[in-house]
Amino acid sequence: MTLCINENRMKRSQKIGCMLFVVLVLLAAGCARIPTVGEGPRPITEVMPEEAVRIFTGAEAALKQGQIDRAMALYGDMLERFPSGKAAFLAHLRRGEILTDREQYGPAIRELGLLPGGFEEDPLYPEARYNLARSNFGLGAYKISEGVCEELLRKRVPPHLKPRIESLMGDNLAQTGRNKEALGWYLKSLKSGPETRLEESLKMKAEEIIASALSVEQLEEIEKDYRWGYPSGYLRYAIARASYRARDFDKAQEYLDRFLRDSEHPLFEEGEALLRRIAAAKLINRNAIGCVLPLTGRYASYGNRVLDAVILASGVFDPGQENPIELFIEDSKGDPTTAREAVRRLANEYHVIGIVGPLGSSASMEAAEEAQQLGVPIITLTQRQGITETGDYVFRDFLTGEAQAHALVSYSIHNLGVKNFAILHPDDHYGTEMMHLFWDEVLRQGGQIRGVETYTSGQTDFGIEIKSLTGLNFPEEGKASEENPKPIVDFDALFIPDSYSVVSMIAPQLAFYDVIGVHLLGTNIWNSPELLKKDSEYLDGAIFIDCFFLNSAHQEVIDFIDRFYVAWGREPGNVEALAYDATNILVKLIAGGGL
């Protein structure tokens, strides 16, 4: 079902900032473990005593065979017998290399610091300095590591070592936020002929920087020096993608056309998809908003309530608006596949600039994946964890479990002075999930969990669980059971993530067992007028979280409630308030030119 409603443009503007933040994790210097035998200059042992040569030869053989501990022991034995001269130089050098490879960076630095002087011109001396730079990098001493790399690169170093030093130089720069310079060193390292594993690592790091760490201006500047060969394709695709996000479709088209000349490029399919997005973006109706809701089927009652709010936020009842907005509404029927198809239809047929909805976890995820693929912003109405991680076109306007746990704990600790908490929760999925979220948040904010008890869904007597929380089930050893034992209440707040009907049964039972003076904490499913209709005295001081309060004193909320009642003859609930806000965000962005 598709409904098109013309409306006028809103005056105020609000902008959604959407940015894909990519954390670049760089591998430690040179990526792979560096073999210590069989490459680089051969150690010169002619000037060493015969016994030192014998021990060193045995240590080298053990190292080559992977007998690292035996090699370390032999090098140590060599140092005991020959604590100075060339033998000591080689022994300290090899032990430093091994410790560096084992990521024992502190001991490696100490070992390399024991190298005797007078061997600065030895062919193996650059190896020692390189491992010193690696170890400092491993400890986060990037400036020191960078300085050692600069020193080495000013000199002539063995060909096998040069790409490693250049790669490590890039790692130091990347870790200190100088991504453009880091990319330059990675590309230099690639030109220096690195071994296969290092080459793969260099390309991965270079491509990460190109994809996510540089501005369009920086990318264009670098692209001028790489018109052919690697990484020209990655640069052009990145410029096209960034230009598309900036809504500079002409520039995006220009670079994409050049990129697509190479049909063998690994990103060729992504380039073709981006080309389709650009073509669709040029057709976008900048006044069209899409909406996907379950208007028929199992969740129709919720969907139609949300639809009322969406239409109201669209401004249909405000004749004073000037620019008409078109609202296209699709029925998801509560089905994930139908929701995905609805998003595709809104994007490809009606060219909407943004979408609100759908409801429900599975339908929202399907819709979000399709919207992300099509490059259409979507504001979902779901608690589904991780949905905004689908991509940078996917947003959420809904009260999540994490948000509730954070708000409850923050208010309890900072406003009520509560430090000790207990949890009483049902054994269903919601109760278990909220228990974990609340527990994690308490620990994160410096509180303590003094006890956790679980009960089964449908249970009405909670005596066993209450007694377990307060020690009534476990009298102190050596003491006779008292006729009226006193509870040990070592918590100041009790979190109960269940419905209002269950909470209204638990509260009086807590009082029965003398668990009084404790703050009861709950989630938004407590929010019902029925909560206080029976035994309300036991809920005095209880606190729960919700995203909308019908009796709010804030003028914006009062105005919304009044407008909603005039339009639909009823008061709005949580879901209507959230849908109204989500739609209003898009309307204001359109009015302000933010989309």
Q: 181: buried, middle or exposed (CB in 10 Å: 19+, 13-18, 0-12)?
A: middle
pLDDT score at 459: 95
Residue that wins the pLDDT comparison between 561 and 10: 561
pLDDT score at 279: 87
Q: Where are the beta strands (DSSP E) in 49-118?
A: none
pLDDT score at 474: 60
Bridging pattern class, strands 394-396 and 378-381: parallel
pLDDT mean over 346-374: 94
pLDDT score at 317: 65
pLDDT score at 33: 42
């929701």: which residue's tokens? Answer: 339
Answer for the pair 33, 71: CB distance below 8 angstroms, yes or no. Answer: no
Per-residue pLDDT tens over the stretch 449-486: 999 999 999 999 999 999 999 988 765 555 545 566 78
pLDDT score at 139: 97
Q: CA gyration radius for the chain?
A: 33
What is the token pair recorded at 228?
A: 């052919």
pLDDT score at 260: 96
Flag the least confident range among 123-137, 315-329, 497-511: 315-329
pLDDT score at 1: 42
Strand order through the sheet with 543-544: 448-455, 420-426, 493-495, 519-522, 543-544
pLDDT mean over 99-117: 95
3-state secondary structure of 58: helix
- % of the chain residues with pLDDT over 90: 79
Per-residue pLDDT tens over the stretch 297-329: 999 999 999 999 999 999 866 777 666 789 999
Local confidence band at 595 (pLDDT 50, 70, 90 cut-offs): low
Local confidence band at 3 (pLDDT 50, 70, 90 cut-offs): very low
What distance lies between CA 180 and its chain's CA centroid?
24
Per-residue pLDDT tens over the stretch 237-266: 999 999 998 889 999 999 999 999 999 999
């204001």: which residue's tokens? Answer: 588
Per-residue pLDDT tens over the stretch 139-190: 999 999 999 999 999 999 999 999 999 999 999 999 999 999 999 999 999 9
**Number of residues that make up the chain:** 595
- Measured CA to CA, the distance from residue 186 to residue 164 in angstroms comes to 10
- % of the chain residues with pLDDT over 70: 90
pLDDT mean over 542-549: 94
pLDDT score at 16: 29
- Measured CA to CA, the distance from residue 28 to residue 9 in angstroms comes to 54
Q: Does 543 have pLDDT greater than 70?
A: yes
Answer for the pair 22, 209: CB distance below 8 angstroms, yes or no. Answer: no
Domains and CATH numbers, the chain: 401-544 (3.40.50.2300)
pLDDT mean over 208-217: 96
Q: Does 35 have pLDDT greater than 70?
A: no
Nearest partner of 37 among 121, 153, 127, judged by Cα:
127
What is the token pair recorded at 175?
A: 């870790």
Rounded to the nearest integer, the mean pLDDT of the chain is 89
pLDDT score at 13: 33
pLDDT score at 68: 95
What angle (nearest 5°) sits at the alpha carbon of residue 293, between those of residues 290 and 298? 165
